[in-house]
Structures are given as C-alpha cells and as structure tokens.
Chain A
Amino acid sequence: MAAVGQGPLAFVQGAGELAVFVGRTFAWMPRRPFRWAQLFRHLRDIGFGSLFIVVLTGFFTGLVFGFQTLQGFRRFGAEALVGPATLLTLSRELGPVLTGLMVAGRSGSGMATELGTMRVTEQIDALSTLAVEPMQYLVVPRVLAATLMMPLLTAIFTGFGFYGCYLIGVGREGIDPGVFFFETWQAADPDDFYEGWIKGAFFGAQISLISSWQGFRASGGARGVGEAATRAVVLSSVSILVGTYLLAELLDPLIHGYIWFDALPK
C-alpha cells in the first residue's frame, strides 16, 4: 500500500524494481546446484503452515456461500442447484483467491520477516561472501515451493468448502443427498478446477516473489522488517485481486474456449 500510496513515481519505481527482482529469480532458477533441502523445507512450511487456516476458512466460506445461495435459489425453487453453483464459484474464484489471501497473510509475511531479518543482520551479505548466491539459495526455493503448494491448498479449500455447502444443503435444508450429488455431477466440469489450480499457482508465485522482494529490500532494523512484512501482505493481496480478474480474462478463452466452439452451428 505504501508503494501505491506514495504516488505514481514511487509506484513505477517499485514496479521496475520488482521486475528486475523477478528477472533475476528466473535467471538463477535453472542454475545448479539445485536446492532440494531448501525446497522441501519451504514446501513443508507453506503447506503445513497454512493448512489449518485454509481448511477453516474453506469450510466456513462453503457454509456461508451455500447458505446465501440457498436464500436466492429458493425464490426460483432451485434449491437443489446449490451444490453445483457453490462448487463452480469455489473452484474457479473463491478457492484460489481466498487461499491466496490466507497464504499471503501466513506465509508471505513470514517470508518477508525472515528474509528482512537476514538482510538487516547482514546474513544475506554473509551468504554472498561465502560464494553462495542469495537469489538462488533463498528466493528460488521459496518461489518454487509456493507455486507448487498453492494449487494443492486451493484444492483443499475447495474440498472443505464443498463439504460446508453439503452440510447446509443436505443437513440443514434437507435436500436429498442423491439429488444434491446428481446435480453437482451433472454440472461439474474439470476445467473449472483447472482454472482454479492455475490461478493458485500464479498467486503462489506472486506472493513469494513480492514477499521475498520486500524482505530483500528491508532496511533499518526491526521496524524496517515489520514494514516489509506489512507491505508484502498488502501488495500480495492487491496483486491477487487484480490478478484474478486478468487471469479470468486470459484463462477463460484458453480453458473453456471449446464450449464456444462446440456451440458453433455445424
């Protein structure tokens, strides 16, 4: 927010800096040695670190979305369609976006804090003097881990969300479970899930790159590290909300395009 708040010049400057950082990350990515131990550490940190909160928010999102959708659908007597409606929204939009926001808050701030502390205590400089490239050792494994982990967390979010919706629809509203699943089965399309997972992967990359960048440019002690963490979360969140629209526009014709072709007159 601070980068956005300080006017257009600071924004352009920040965007340029971030672009350079992203470029350097990808330049170091294919170089050897590959940091397997680091990758597994971050896969575990991001995965387990965010698992509980993703399950919890997924479940309640499904509950409330199912609840409100029912209020609407009841007006058309379409209660049984709550399953597919919820699943579509969860898998395509709410799943990746809310999971992304949770991971930004949990792991993004963690990355910015850890790397920011390493920066201000000169640990990143110490790595350089030991002829270990910090981008390669610290940033590349975080970006890969977040990019790989986000689709999985998105799927978990969607799964628990759908379970919440099932509890509302079948448990509370009394929809016949057979009907509930039949309607969902009828309308569900694997492409909806692909869209969510692809978005998740993008958001994972965005969060980890922005947060690492903020950590690396931290300065000035504990306070600077705190500011970096705040900025990491805010900028990651904004980038997710902007990104999800852009990705929807981009992915829709790519993934769901065939629906349009199928609809063409033969």
Chain B
Amino acid sequence: MIRIVGVRKRFGDREVLKGIDLDIPRGSNLVILGGSGMGKSVLMKHIIGLLQPDEGQIIVDGEDISRMSPLQLKRVRGKFGMVFQNGALFDSMSNWDNVAFPLREHRRDLKGAALDERVRHLFQLFSLDPDVVGPRAPSEISGGQRKRVALARAVALDPAIVLYDEPTTGLDPITTDQVDEMILDAKRKLGVTSIVISHDIASAFKIADHIIFIYDGQIVVRGLKHEMLTSTHPFVQRFFATWTAKNV
C-alpha cells in the first residue's frame, strides 16, 4: 500500500506538484495520464524516494519514505523497480550486463549457468534476442530495444512495486501489447503493484484499475474510462477528444 498525502514540490520559483493526495492499494494497476511537463515524472520520482517533497508525506507499507536517510532508503528500494522515461541504461556496460547487474548485486546465490539462464529469460520476456542484443552497448541498439532492455532490468529482481515511466512510448503495437499483457500478468500471478505513466489511452484503459489525470501539478480527474471521458475539465476533454473521435 502506497499513500501519498499532500505532496508539494517546487523547483526554484516554479511549483510543479501542488498538493497531491493518492492511495494506491497493493496489487493494483495505477495509470497516470496528463499533458507533457505537468509533473508526472516528478511525482513518480517522489514515490521511489529519488526526490523529496517540500511538503507532505509518501508512505510505503506504513513507512514515510520522504524523510528517510540514504541507508534506510536503500533497504526500502528492494521493493521497487523503475523504468525511466529515457531508459537510463548504464552506457559503460553491455545490454547483457545491464540486465544482469541487479541480479549480481542482490542475488549472490545466482551464479554461472543459473544467472545466464535468468538473464536469457528476461531478454526473451521482452522479445529480445540475448545473443544479438546482449553483447552490444546500449548506444548500439534502437530506441525501442533500449526501452525493452530497461524493462528487463527493472523487473529482474521481481519487485513488488514497479514504476513505469512511459514504458511503451516508441514501441510498435505488437510489443506494446506484450508489455501491457506482462503488466496484467504480473498483477494476476504475482500480485505486483504497477504504476504506469502513459500517453497511450487504449493501453491505459486496458491495464488500469485506477486512472488519475494530472494537470498543472494537481489531480484533476480520478476514476476509470467513464470518468475520463465524461470529465468537464477543458484540458481533459481536449486530451480525449481525438481518441473518442476514432473509437466511439
């Protein structure tokens, strides 16, 4: 259970988050929608403790992570995996080593063939060929492939909570669908909590148990498909207008 209470954040004289309140139950999928530059990524970085709020609290399983020391945070981070908007792959390592990195760090029991097996499996989970993509550097593969390597790295340790910052932006429809299925699968089979920032309305409706729409640092609509499409907020109406025109 993640509980966000009255979170505010400013950078210089610009207030990016203007009081966010949100409960995310265990084992549910939350999708965050909103226009560009509205504070979605900033909110996500608060949830995993990369940014500290100026005001408010972020409570993960009963512990307020917004006031934790780096050492305490390190312990809590074991529950999380995160896919960054731009991948954030380690460019001094091969793609293989990127995916193997969390396993080598935290699963000392996995060695040799067992480790290789696990890494191969993760590559294949995201339709990547470990023998082709693995040995290359992150700079030597396509944007969509990078995104998938980042996905594989984020879920390598089977975290209980996975944060996805635009996991499917730049992926083809088939792979997008596979990622959606994986998120749903993780929830069904392992009770994983997923928090997904997306611009893809169709997949948002497909995977979400709950959707929030962020506008100008505030949550302006909460709910599901129905609440989104019937909102009276002018920006939200414009946001869904093109999609509605095509799909209704």
A residues with CB within 8 A of B = 24, 114, 117-118, 121-123, 125-133, 135
Question: Which residue of A has the minimal Cβ distance to B70?
Answer: A133
Whether the Cβ atoms of A125 and B50 lie closer than 8 Å is yes
Whether the Cβ atoms of A130 and B86 lie closer than 8 Å is no
Q: Other than the known A118-B90, A129-B77, A131-B105, what 16 A-B pairs have Cβ atoms closer than 8 Å?
A: A121-B86, A121-B91, A122-B88, A123-B88, A123-B89, A123-B91, A125-B45, A125-B50, A126-B84, A126-B89, A127-B90, A128-B73, A129-B154, A130-B101, A131-B77, A133-B70
Whether the Cβ atoms of A125 and B102 lie closer than 8 Å is no
Whether the Cβ atoms of A126 and B74 lie closer than 8 Å is no
Q: Which interface residue of B45, B84, B153 has the most chain A CB atoms within 10 A?
A: B84
Binary interface profile of B, 77-96, with partner A (CB < 8 Å = 1, else 0)? 11011101010111110000
Tell me if B226 is interfacial: C-beta within 8 Å of chain A. Answer: no
Question: Can you pick out 12 interface pairs between chain A and chain B where the beta carbons lie within 8 Å of each other?
Answer: A24-B70, A117-B91, A118-B90, A121-B88, A122-B84, A122-B88, A123-B88, A123-B90, A126-B88, A126-B89, A131-B106, A135-B70
Whether the Cβ atoms of B80 and A129 lie closer than 8 Å is yes
Residues on A with C-beta less than 8 A from B214 are none
Question: Which residue of B has the minimal Cβ distance to A130?
Answer: B102
Whether the Cβ atoms of B74 and A125 lie closer than 8 Å is no
Distance of A127 Cα from B88 Cα, bound (Å): 9
Given known pairs A131-B74, A131-B77, A133-B74, the reply for A126 and B90 (CB within 8 Å) is: yes
5 tightest A-B CB contacts, nearest first: A126-B88, A131-B77, A122-B88, A129-B82, A130-B102
Residues on A with C-beta less than 8 A from B91 are 117, 121, 123
Q: How many residues of B contact A (CB 8 A)?
A: 26
Question: Which residue of B has the minimal Cβ distance to A31?
Answer: B71
Closest-CB distance, B191 to chain A (whole angstroms): 20
Whether the Cβ atoms of B105 and A126 lie closer than 8 Å is no
Closest-CB distance, A221 to chain B (whole angstroms): 12
Closest-CB distance, A19 to chain B (whole angstroms): 17
Residues on A with C-beta less than 8 A from B45 are 125
Whether the Cβ atoms of B105 and A130 lie closer than 8 Å is yes
Tell me if B208 is interfacial: C-beta within 8 Å of chain A. Answer: no
Whether the Cβ atoms of B84 and A130 lie closer than 8 Å is no
Closest-CB distance, A241 to chain B (whole angstroms): 32
Whether the Cβ atoms of B105 and A132 lie closer than 8 Å is yes
Closest-CB distance, B141 to chain A (whole angstroms): 15
Distance of A121 Cα from B138 Cα, bound (Å): 13
Whether the Cβ atoms of B105 and A122 lie closer than 8 Å is no
Distance of A113 Cα from B92 Cα, bound (Å): 13
Residues on B with C-beta less than 8 A from A127 are 90
Whether the Cβ atoms of B105 and A129 lie closer than 8 Å is no
Closest-CB distance, A115 to chain B (whole angstroms): 11
Tell me if B48 is interfacial: C-beta within 8 Å of chain A. Answer: yes
Distance of A135 Cα from B70 Cα, bound (Å): 10
Distance of A24 Cα from B69 Cα, bound (Å): 12
Distance of A21 Cα from B74 Cα, bound (Å): 18
Contact of B88 among A125, A132, A135 (CB under 8 A): A125
Given known pairs A125-B45, A125-B50, the reply for A130 and B88 (CB within 8 Å) is: no
Whether the Cβ atoms of A126 and B82 lie closer than 8 Å is yes
Question: Which residue of B has the minimal Cβ distance to A129?
Answer: B82
